[in-house]
A and B are shown apart, each in its own frame.
Chain A
Amino acid sequence: MKPLLAVGFWLLAKSQWPRANSVLMKLSPNWIRDFVDLSVDDHRLAEDLTNVGLGVEGVNGTGADTTWEMEIGTNRPDAMNHYGVAREAAAIYEKQLSALSCQLSPKPSSDTTFPITVEEPSLCPRFSGLVIRNTRIKPSPEKIAHRLQLLDQRPISNAVDATNYVLWEIGKPTHVFDMDLLEGGRIVVRKARAGETLKTLDGVERKLTTEDLVVCDAKKPVGLAGVMGGYDTMITDKTRNIVIESAWWDPGIVRKMSRRHALHTDASHRFERGADFESCPLSCNLVAKMILDSGGGELVGDVVDAVSKKIDQAPVLLHMSEVQRILGGSLDAGHVYRLLKRLGFELVPEGQGSSQKDQQFWVHIPSWRLDVEREIDVIEEIARLHGYDKFQNTLPAYSGAVVALPHAGMQATLRRRALALGYNEGVSLTFISHADAEKFSAPGARVLELENPLSEEASVMRTSLVPGMIDMLAYNLNRDVAEARLFEIAGVYELANGERVEPRRACLGVTAAAVRAALPKGSVLDVSKGDQSAAAEAFRGFKGDVESLLATFSGDLSYDRQVAEYLHPGRSVRALLNGAPVAQFGQLHPDVAAARKLRQDVFVAELDLEQLYRLGPRRVELAPPAKYPAVERDFSFVFSDEVSFGQMQAAISATGIRELQNKDTRPVEIFRGGSIAAGKYSILLRVRFQSAERTLREDEIAKWSAKIVSVLTELGGVQRA
């Protein structure tokens, strides 16, 4: 492909297969560096992270205030925070990652610990809580507020900001309640009861269903589990005592609730994809420490940690042979071991694999990597950290054969012919309106409606290419492009006997001006004055184009007048090959053209490619070029308008003169008006006699000519002098 000047397409979405299974989020490289001591600059760090799959797609700000626009796969919730990215950086550069410990010295609890009851242990296998007393709610310290602002997070208060900060630091959503607003001094995790409501932090009063999982105090729901906390128990300036919640919620239930309530939050986003089970107590402590540091107060008792079931990944058996089979190349076991170690996996050799290839490891998955479940997931981790570009490019051997689609050749011929006839290829949208579906569908065709259409104009799948073609022609006419010739080869979509079908069609569309411009000077047949003769000539011009396309296929061509109602009743035709209908075409009905405000007459053709493909490609049937000269004779007749050329041709053909084939009779000139009576027309026919065996004699030609005059006269014609 040749490079060309191009502007504007940086706006484009990325590759569309299957576009963007990833989320964009802002992260701060400076914050990432809190956890790992890196010697590389931000630019290099961004590149290296991108190469292990944590894409840095944009850079904002400078210096310590630099933020990155990061694109992180939906399978990597562990990396949707600063510590998680630092963990990857540590693995890339083989650096030590700072441990996240948080030593607090709680006052021994005087009252009984805050009781937590989990009635749905399968949906909430872990619920950690921590209580702070006598603290003060105030704005966050400058450093905290600034960091949140860099990420477009609005600072609210030290307690709320602490939960938000921890979310962005380690990716674990937490929640803080005003303890004094929790009735009954306890927390219950249960399904909501019919009729219960919850006003969430966004101020919306939500009706709950028995499918919703809620965090409650003794009396009422105070939070939509894993999605959003309650308004009535939120932290206010008056809050003095706080309960910190950090739980692990079942991804499925969070997703369902998030959808049901149309509430997509930073918390639900992470819980849906799987949070780190082990970070529940740690996150409580981190939030508590930030609140204590800024607002004072005291910690009462240790973290209350209600664990009903441990969520961890079963170890995976990794075969070195499988690593080779999938990745190719020559990674050895030692290298694989080191790569996985760097990412936090623990490897225990299994069995006594004697050779490299037989070696196996039990791979223990770290708690933050819920996405790694299978051997192939581990293999991806190996490839990712090793670096995709380091694998050698190879080409696979192949023992199969290339098969062409059965209709590929015919379609190519059809397209080539349309192009040669001067038609530009168009691609129209696959949707049409209900009104067009009614007007242009074949009788009996059932349309496929869209559940969530973009607009009424695009609410059903097209059942015909004609509406799209008319739109394209109108687009040209409305821009003063008077001569437009277009074709399209594409599918239409219908229900037939309850089953969806996608028959292929070809469509031609052309403005009358374009048809006339393309008529060769010498081809004029109807020399009468007036619109009717001009229309007849244009129709013939378009008919020739359609015939040239139909000539792609085998079969004997015939015509009748059974056409759809969108076509002009007098200037349209149905084409049949071997008696099977294959196309209809002609001038668009004046009413349809008027409804679309078309500035010109247009001609359209619709070809049924399914039928045509069944007939197969036309085979060449060679006839040797004639050895003996042909003789032409002209016959000038006046006929009534009711008699068509086809009837004359048939009558002449019926004479059975061997030296005369059907296509050897052609019209040369047609005229109405002048001395010709109304309702009649004069026609000059030229007949060509030829023998493959001899030169023809004057007397036999005279005999045949007399015969022709006689059958034409029988047909009602009057020979002109």
Chain B
Amino acid sequence: MAYTVPKLTDYTAAALESAANECIGACKSEAAAVHNDAELKSFRDRWMARKNGILTQINDQWLKGAPRDAKREAGIRVNELKARITEHVESAQIADHDNASEERVDITLPGVRRAMGAEHPIIKTSHEIVAVFQKLGYSVAEGPVVETDYYNFEALNFPPNHPARDTQDTLFIANQQSKAQRERLLLRTHTSPVQIRTMEKMRPPIRIVIPGTVHRNDPPDASHSPMFHQIEGLAVDTNITFGDLKGTLDHAMKSLFGSSVKTHFRPSFFPFTEPSAELYVTCFICGGSGKREGGAPCRPCKQTGWIEVLGCGMVDPNVFEFVKDNGYDPKKVSGFAFGMGVDRLAMLKYGVDDLQLFFQGDVRFLEQFG
């Protein structure tokens, strides 16, 4: 039976006390029975509403009905009561949700996901590689994609008519016949020209890393594209050794592929480095064993346990000769350079078996990298 404000006839202290206690008791038990926001609101309204709330009724009935001589005492009492009730009402909380466990949603329904874009896997891989070298003190440099013969070949120690130029399958810009050979424009076949461009602008010591787009005259197929991406690195100082080249790249490979990978350097030939090397890392697919789980042969590393990741070497003194006037006397400074194909590393990293997937813009492919 819900509490209603009783009419007071007896204004003795004891009677007032008893009426007050009854009221507080009712308030407390009602407060305890509040189960949700709606109930809390109606509970508050019932007790506190200015129009006809219980406190208002008490005020109206008990005070106004009090005999003259009891008015003062009743006033004090009622005020006390109001404070206590107010306190109870204010502190009333939604009681333990006995039936909350029945308020169930189907948690297997799919979440509403807002579309989020994914960074392109080649750009992402490029950023990761650049970040590793930035932490080693390398600054990012850039250079033009449409390059002159001079920067792409000549200053990198590819003399005119040298056989090493044949292997580059260069795409040339049309209508260049009237220019001297070194001025003729072509699409750079590697990011290496930026080595020269940077050394022309900055005196040693330098440490740069050069991400960029390069082109070769290769028709597109699963493993070739006329456009692809490289990252080039160059460090020149008065004290750079072949051991530094090895140590730097060993550190970088461990940062990229995990601290357990091993590196292996093999002699190679590039016109602009000497000595030149190819860097291999233990295959990150099979862990270097040459075999997949279950004993199947590991194909990415051709079962050798090693994957070639980049070309590198000590900067050839002939290259320094082209920028000698800017502080690059090959007798005084030495340096190393390295270059890697980003697309291929991204293919290895994500297990992409067709290079063309990178350039089609198929969102079903791209969104998986988010």
* Interface residues in chain A, defined as those with a beta carbon under 8 Å from any beta carbon in chain B: 1-22, 50-53, 55, 73-76, 252, 255-256, 272-273, 325-329, 374, 376-377, 379-380, 383-384, 388-389, 391-405, 408, 415, 418-431, 448-454, 458, 461, 469, 471-473, 475-476, 479, 481, 483-487, 490-491, 493, 500, 502, 518
Q: 8 Å CB contacts to A: which residues of B181-209?
A: 185, 187, 189-190, 192, 205-207
Shortest Cβ distance from B158 into A: residue? A18
Shortest Cβ distance from A479 into B: residue? B362
Q: Once the chains bind, are A392 and B243 in contact (CB under 8 Å)?
A: yes
Return A171 CB to nearest CB of chain B, in Å.
Answer: 16
Q: Once the chains bind, are B351 and A7 in contact (CB under 8 Å)?
A: yes
| Contact residues in B for A500 (Cβ distance below 8 Å) | 144, 146, 185
Interface mask (B291-316 → A, CB under 8 Å = 1, otherwise 0): 00000000110100000111100101
Q: Once the chains bind, are A73 and B268 in contact (CB under 8 Å)?
A: yes
A12 and B344 contact, Cβ closer than 8 Å, known pairs A1-B258, A424-B366, A454-B217 = yes
Q: Once the chains bind, are A475 and B161 in contact (CB under 8 Å)?
A: no
Return B306 CB to nearest CB of chain A, in Å.
Answer: 10
CA distance in complex: A14, B309 (Å): 8
Q: Once the chains bind, are B359 and A419 in contact (CB under 8 Å)?
A: no
| B352 touches A (CB below 8 Å) | yes
| B215 touches A (CB below 8 Å) | yes
| B244 touches A (CB below 8 Å) | yes
CA distance in complex: A379, B248 (Å): 21
Q: Once the chains bind, are A377 and B274 in contact (CB under 8 Å)?
A: yes
Q: Once the chains bind, are A10 and B171 in contact (CB under 8 Å)?
A: no
Q: Once the chains bind, are A399 and B205 in contact (CB under 8 Å)?
A: yes
| B213 touches A (CB below 8 Å) | yes
Shortest Cβ distance from B345 into A: residue? A1
CA distance in complex: A329, B118 (Å): 46
Shortest Cβ distance from B169 into A: residue? A19
* Interface residues in chain B, defined as those with a beta carbon under 8 Å from any beta carbon in chain A: 114-120, 122-123, 128, 134, 137-142, 144-146, 161, 163-164, 167-168, 171-176, 185, 187, 189-190, 192, 205-207, 213-217, 219-220, 222-228, 230, 232, 235, 237, 239-244, 246-248, 250-251, 256-258, 264-271, 274-278, 284-285, 287, 299-300, 302, 308-311, 314, 316-317, 334, 338-341, 344, 347-355, 358-364, 366-367, 370
CA distance in complex: A469, B361 (Å): 8
Q: Once the chains bind, are B114 and A427 in contact (CB under 8 Å)?
A: no
Can you list 11 A-B pairs, Cβ within 8 angstroms, ordered by A?
A: A6-B351, A15-B308, A15-B340, A16-B214, A22-B269, A327-B242, A393-B243, A393-B246, A427-B122, A454-B219, A454-B220
A397 and B239 contact, Cβ closer than 8 Å, known pairs A420-B117, A426-B120 = yes
Prevailing SS type, chain A contact patch? loop
Of B206, B311, B349, which is within 8 A of A4 by CB? B349
Task: For the A-B complex with A14-B278, A400-B137 known, give 12 more contacts whose Cβ atoms are closer than 8 Å.
Answer: A1-B349, A12-B355, A18-B167, A55-B266, A388-B246, A393-B250, A394-B243, A396-B247, A422-B114, A429-B226, A486-B366, A493-B146
Q: Once the chains bind, are A429 and B227 in contact (CB under 8 Å)?
A: yes
Return A88 CB to nearest CB of chain B, in Å.
Answer: 11
Q: Once the chains bind, are B117 and A481 in contact (CB under 8 Å)?
A: no
Q: Once the chains bind, are A476 and B361 in contact (CB under 8 Å)?
A: yes
Q: Once the chains bind, are A383 and B242 in contact (CB under 8 Å)?
A: yes
Residue of B220, B269, B340, B352 contacting most chain A CB atoms (<10 Å): B269
Shortest Cβ distance from A396 into B: residue? B244
Return B262 CB to nearest CB of chain A, in Å.
Answer: 10
| Contact residues in B for A327 (Cβ distance below 8 Å) | 241-243, 275
| Contact residues in A for B267 (Cβ distance below 8 Å) | 51-53, 380, 383-384, 388
Shortest Cβ distance from B133 into A: residue? A402
Prevailing SS type, chain B contact patch? mixed
A450 and B265 contact, Cβ closer than 8 Å, known pairs A376-B317, A418-B117 = no
Of A7, A329, A491, which is within 8 A of B353 by CB? A7
| Contact residues in A for B344 (Cβ distance below 8 Å) | 9, 12-13, 15-16
CA distance in complex: A418, B119 (Å): 10
Q: Once the chains bind, are A430 and B227 in contact (CB under 8 Å)?
A: yes
CA distance in complex: A327, B334 (Å): 10
Q: Once the chains bind, are B285 and A74 in contact (CB under 8 Å)?
A: no
| Contact residues in B for A427 (Cβ distance below 8 Å) | 120, 122-123, 358-359
CA distance in complex: A399, B174 (Å): 44
A430 and B284 contact, Cβ closer than 8 Å, known pairs A17-B340, A424-B118, A493-B145 = no
A53 and B268 contact, Cβ closer than 8 Å, known pairs A326-B334, A424-B366, A471-B361 = yes
CA distance in complex: A717, B253 (Å): 69
Residue of B215, B347, B349, B359 contacting most chain A CB atoms (<10 Å): B359
Shortest Cβ distance from A400 into B: residue? B205
A448 and B116 contact, Cβ closer than 8 Å, known pairs A10-B299, A273-B163 = no
Q: Once the chains bind, are B302 and A10 in contact (CB under 8 Å)?
A: yes
CA distance in complex: A450, B216 (Å): 12
Of A11, A17, A51, A396, which is within 8 A of B310 by CB? A17
Q: Once the chains bind, are A472 and B361 in contact (CB under 8 Å)?
A: yes
A404 and B266 contact, Cβ closer than 8 Å, known pairs A6-B348, A272-B163 = no
A451 and B285 contact, Cβ closer than 8 Å, known pairs A55-B266, A404-B140, A473-B361 = no
Residue of B137, B192, B243, B244 contacting most chain A CB atoms (<10 Å): B243
Q: Once the chains bind, are B256 and A1 in contact (CB under 8 Å)?
A: yes
CA distance in complex: A490, B359 (Å): 13
Q: Once the chains bind, are A424 and B367 in contact (CB under 8 Å)?
A: yes
CA distance in complex: A380, B118 (Å): 45
Of B264, B285, B341, B361, which is within 8 A of A15 by CB? B341
